[in-house]
Amino acid sequence: MKVWFNKGLSNTFDALRIIRAADTTSAMILRASHTDPFSAVSKAADEFMVEPGDMDDTSYVDWCLNQCLEHGVEIFVPQRRREAISGHRMAFDANGVRVSVMGTPDVMEMVDRKHELYDALKGMDVPVPPYMTFRTVTEFDTAVAEIGERVDRLCVKPCVGVYGAGFRVLDREGCELKRILSGDSFRTSSDAFRTALAGSSQDRDMMLMAYLPGTERSVDVLAHRGRLVRAISRVKVGSHQILETAGRSVDIASCLTERFALDGVFNLQTKEWDGISYLLEVNSRMSGGLLYACMAGVALPYWNLMLTAGLATPEDVPAATSGVRVAPVQGCIAV
């Protein structure tokens, strides 16, 4: 069975290594692609090719389908242009290629737009932090006045973004120069942010939110056709992480999986406030911490392929071990 992972993040290397270790009968041929010919993923795959650079969505989807047919790909796990490829699943299915994505294009676009996700969860048993959207200084001031009366600390982030880019905790007091000199890239003052916003021509949706002071969890999820199969919650404690298999964060993952008919391997994050776990965001891709989660004894990307191929059922997936403590190590390979 040939499986293709197109251009993704560095976690693709980890996913391929995890699959390789779990595939004890060598039943899977792993194919990978990237725009960088020296990508580390080339060393983890059986087959590697360089992807074309700039292409519009339609051209890229056509190229992917042709690659699947030319190279006998049976399962395609898209990371680049996930939404566009998801919208053409029927074309892949008609040619015998199974596509593994988290959900429909509408669902994946919604979770990428954090304010739309929060709006969609109204009335569900999934708490989200107090928030308001803004673009202008006037809208920012209104949001600060309304939410600032209810919470001790505020933060801002773009409604659409990755890697925490643009996230800032807004301090009400303190010296801005000291914050800059300290190298802290996640804190600024409300006044400094307001000044930057006023002097900007940006026209994108931003969110002002309550900054939640409690424990943060990153939950790696394996789902199959709207059913949560396994979820492993990671809690950072100093230089290591603790893996959990139950709790409110896992319950939230189960609720979202069923509500939006989610599938495959994806990630969500929660944070506590006054004993309540709040959903922060959902990522429609594998997380950067996937390698940690799999140390609980479940090779999540491998079992996703087995489920997608119809070679396993959710009952075949082994149980995860709770309480495992894991720590990162550094390494490198020659490319």
Considering the domain architecture, whether residues 221 and 271 belong to the same structural domain is answered as: yes
Q: Is residue 236 part of a domain?
A: yes
Res. 163 pLDDT band, cuts 50 70 90: low
Percent of the chain having pLDDT more than 90? 83
Res. 330 pLDDT band, cuts 50 70 90: confident
Q: Is residue 66 part of a domain?
A: yes
Domain boundary among 179, 210, 241: 210
Considering the domain architecture, whether residues 63 and 163 belong to the same structural domain is answered as: no
Quick count: other Cβ atoms within 10 Å of Cβ 44?
21
Domain boundary among 176, 210, 244: 210
For the chain, state the CA radius of gyration.
21
Q: Is residue 29 part of a domain?
A: yes
Give the least confident one: 60-69, 94-103, 201-210, 259-268.
Answer: 201-210
For residues 310-318, average pLDDT:
98
Residue range 7-24, pLDDT digits in tens = 998 899 999 999 999 999
For residues 279-284, average pLDDT:
96
Q: Residue 267 in contact with residue 286, Cβ under 8 Å? A: yes
Q: Which two tokens mark 28?
A: 């899977």
What was the pLDDT predicted at 203?
81
Give the least confident one: 21-25, 191-195, 217-221, 279-283.
Answer: 191-195
Q: Which two tokens mark 203?
A: 């026209």
Considering the domain architecture, whether residues 151 and 180 belong to the same structural domain is answered as: yes
What was the pLDDT predicted at 181?
66
Contacts (Cβ under 8 Å, ≥6 apart) of 173: 189
* Dihedral class, residue 206 (left if φ above 0, else alpha if ψ from -120 to 50, else beta): beta
Considering the domain architecture, whether residues 147 and 202 belong to the same structural domain is answered as: yes
Nearest to 71 by CA among 42, 101, 47: 47
Res. 284 pLDDT band, cuts 50 70 90: very high
For residues 72-82, average pLDDT:
97
Q: Is residue 222 part of a domain?
A: yes
Res. 135 pLDDT band, cuts 50 70 90: very high
For residues 179-188, average pLDDT:
74
What was the pLDDT predicted at 160?
87
Considering the domain architecture, whether residues 52 and 135 belong to the same structural domain is answered as: no
CA distance 277 to 250: 10
- The CATH number of residue 293's host domain is 3.30.470.20
- The CATH number of residue 59's host domain is 3.40.50.20
For residues 194-211, average pLDDT:
90
Q: What are phi and psi of 201, to 5 degrees?
A: -100, 10
Q: Which two tokens mark 301?
A: 């990307």
State yes or no: pLDDT of 144 exceeds 70: yes
Considering the domain architecture, whether residues 269 and 317 belong to the same structural domain is answered as: yes
Nearest to 117 by CA among 273, 230, 278: 278
What was the pLDDT predicted at 173?
76
Considering the domain architecture, whether residues 194 and 263 belong to the same structural domain is answered as: no
The rounded mean pLDDT for the chain is 94
What was the pLDDT predicted at 201?
81
136: which DSSP letter? S
Considering the domain architecture, whether residues 150 and 244 belong to the same structural domain is answered as: no
Considering the domain architecture, whether residues 199 and 227 belong to the same structural domain is answered as: no
What was the pLDDT predicted at 206?
94
Considering the domain architecture, whether residues 319 and 218 belong to the same structural domain is answered as: yes
For residues 183-192, average pLDDT:
81
Q: Is residue 220 part of a domain?
A: yes
Domains in the chain: how many in total?
3
- The CATH number of residue 154's host domain is 3.30.1490.20
CA distance 177 to 333: 40
Q: Is residue 124 part of a domain?
A: no
Res. 54 pLDDT band, cuts 50 70 90: confident
Domain boundary among 210, 225, 240: 210
Nearest to 109 by CA among 57, 169, 55, 35: 57
State yes or no: pLDDT of 53 exceeds 90: no
Q: What's the domain range around 184?
A: 130-210
CA distances from 168 to 179, 206, 297, 320, 335 (A): 12, 11, 35, 35, 36
Q: Is residue 122 part of a domain?
A: no
Q: Residue 177 in contact with residue 170, Cβ under 8 Å? A: no
CA distance 295 to 244: 11
For the chain, the farthest-separated pair of C-alpha atoms sits apart, in whole angstroms, at: 62
What was the pLDDT predicted at 141?
95
Considering the domain architecture, whether residues 82 and 155 belong to the same structural domain is answered as: no
pTM of structure: 0.93
Q: Which two tokens mark 179?
A: 């914050």
Q: Is residue 120 part of a domain?
A: no
State yes or no: pLDDT of 129 exceeds 70: yes
Considering the domain architecture, whether residues 220 and 301 belong to the same structural domain is answered as: yes
